[in-house]
Structure 1
Amino acid sequence: MFSQLELARRDGRNLLLVLAIMIPVLFFVADGALEARVLAAVLGGVLTAVTFLAVTVAINRFGPDY
């Protein structure tokens, strides 16, 4: 999948790092029952991952070559 999106190995590492930070933060910030907090953290993590991938792909395709 990473090769189809033209992502480097470091992009995958950065994606995991973003998820490892965002999911616990969203879990502790969310208010409600345990199930609601877990669901909010997972959905927020998925949205964060999709946004991260979209921005990374856009930068890789349309950004300047250094």
Structure 2
Amino acid sequence: MLERFGIERRDRRNLVIVVAIVALLVAVQVEGTILVRVVAGLIVGAVSGVVFLIVTAVINVFKPEY
């Protein structure tokens, strides 16, 4: 499905890495119970994943052809 938007296999790998790192960093930084930390990490990780996909798709549309 993501191939329609120009998202390649390495882009999906990078997406997983970005989401995991952001979610872990947020979970460590947020104060509260473990449930609050996990939920905050999941929400911020998901938002960063969506932003990553949008930016990657836009870059793939406008990048020069070599």
TM-score > 0.5, shorter chain as reference: yes
One-letter amino acid of the counterpart of residue 28, structure 1? V
Deviations 1:27-60 (A, max 9, x none): 0011112111111000000000000000000000
Q: What's the C-alpha RMSD, in Å, of the aligned pairs? A: 1.1
The Cα of 1:20 is off from its aligned counterpart by: 2.0
1:6-25 correspondence to structure 2 within 5 Å: 6-25=6-25
Match of 1:42 in 2: 42
**How many correspondences in the alignment?**
66
Q: Percent identity?
A: 38
SS of the residue 1:3 aligns to: helix
TM-score, length basis structure 1: 0.89
Give deviations 1:5-40, integer Å, cap 9, x for gaps.
Answer: 121111001101112211111100111121111110
Match of 2:60 in 1: 60
**Could you list the runs of 5+ residues in structure 2 that have no partner in the other structure?**
none
Q: Give the TM-score normalised by structure 2.
A: 0.89
Moved segments of 4+, more than 6 Å: none
CA distance in 2 between counterparts of 1:40 and 1:65 reads 40
Amino acid at match of 2:56: T
Q: Secondary structure at the match of 2:60?
A: helix
